[in-house]
Structure 1
């Protein structure tokens, strides 16, 4: 088919689920023969966009500087502007109007309805990544249901797969084989960071129930300092640190492979499950618990506790209830985890995700009758 020229817009490219989705989407679209650009302020993952074969249009401030790159964007000849989440959509709609291009917005997470009432930058068609997000915006103050298209994330199963050797990372961290490890892997922002705090609240009780336990916090975000302080308080008086603040890493798949159990949400939960790791879904909308073949589709509709309404609020007692049996008998949950990994490899590839978005772009580029 003919080459499409697609401009993605996202404020940051720091480590996070949306940012991971964007560089994978770019890679998938480039592999299908399309030209892709990204307008962004940049961040740790900006190099991934370039590696994917996309063009980076970097500005110091998305809201304040986008007009400065209009000649550059116009020269490329983009055909559609695709903004991701609400902040970027405020720029994306105006940018598309300046370039006289179709405009598309994707929603990646829930938004309070009062804020939706004040939002004026919806696209004619809005893409959501879960049924939970669809329900969140499908109301008279948001978007009518017939304007909403449902898609989902794709996982790079060449990178995230069962069988990754955890030994080098275990040696780096000074851990011995058989050490029970809970890895919280997330962006440390707002309600996602609350999951880390709840896990740290539970850590002393978990360590009493599971000798030798280590809790690792992998990620970055505005709540990093708060989580680091909490981890330090948990470790007071202990001969060995129970909780360790790891920070941002580019090799999260190795932490997923190392973990006895991972605690994640959204895209990161899919990555962890793709590695064959028993994964507890807990995120900004609450606590779902261990993802298994029987509840996988239910979890997907909630984007694994990132969208919609999760079964219960996140609290320390959730982890105290669910984690001890998984940590005491780590082999028991592995067969189901491997089954989930196989489901993800079959259904949620990057190529399928890119093909689905290609169909949406073609739909939006078709002339519509008035």
Structure 2
């Protein structure tokens, strides 16, 4: 069935709202019951009669009654008691209730409304007024039917949406596991240096990626990138870019080239340029990425780097002093022919190099203030004695405490190189 036919069927269902078809007259006066029943049959209603409240309730259990016309004053169960019991019955549709009474004081009317009566009709009953009251009740019952149909439709739609959400949520959980598996190592000790990484998506999956890979025994590559946007598209592009800096397969790693004596590291500027060209020529997506990439020579502490729109790399000296590196640069995958500038830093024993995502520096507190470079520098100064994964975990905890919340609005990631020399 196509969508339009479904809408038409739903429209027909609403148009056929049941309304009032079966009316029960409850009165201990047989003559009065028959007189009202006579009018009701003339107007096309199915009529049931009961001489008492107890008899009326018994009939209600076996017959679908749409409206009850009940005398107020009856021996045994009064009209008020009947109304209260009728409202307590489980029903699939709404039942309209009119009390027939000679009472006119406000207290009596309030009591009737309180137990669930919909309307009142003075005795003796006049046919014209009776018919008008029933038509008014018919409009209300039809409205109730329509609301019930709409609620049922809405409930069905919500049930389907919940099922779809549960399926999607399960898929995203599995996607998160796959994305996390792209970070093969969270820590490695290279002797002269130790490398630690942190990856914390703000949702099931994220657009950040961090990592490192050995080029030779004393040379290694470090990277951190952040794909624009959020969601599945960003995560898929993240996985693709992670493949370009593959740890497991050197022949697929665009940061390496093969010579007669083995693999060597490309200049960081060349890596940014190649990644920019690949995104624009092969991926053809609206997303782009920021990148921080470096090649560290552990023999002398020299690190050649490129910054392509990523937050400034940070060097924290052994003394605790903070240095911000790079001039910003253009993201990769944004502009064809973009040019990138490289730079170099010399690390001394006890120094450390940190790449962080903008999820850290742009994290806001309750007042809407960003942590920024100054705030991050303050946190790093406080954590100068922390090392490795403990430093990164404590940094996340401190950022969360500063922001006042445990969940972040953006992915948080970091790559940390600690140089011992």
TM-score (norm 2): 0.23
* TM-score of the pair, normalised by structure 1: 0.25
Which structure shows the higher strand fraction? 2
Which of 1 and 2 has higher RCO (CA within 8 Å, sep 6+)? 1
Structure exhibiting the larger radius of gyration computed from Cα positions: 2
Name the structure where helix makes up a greater proportion of residues.
1
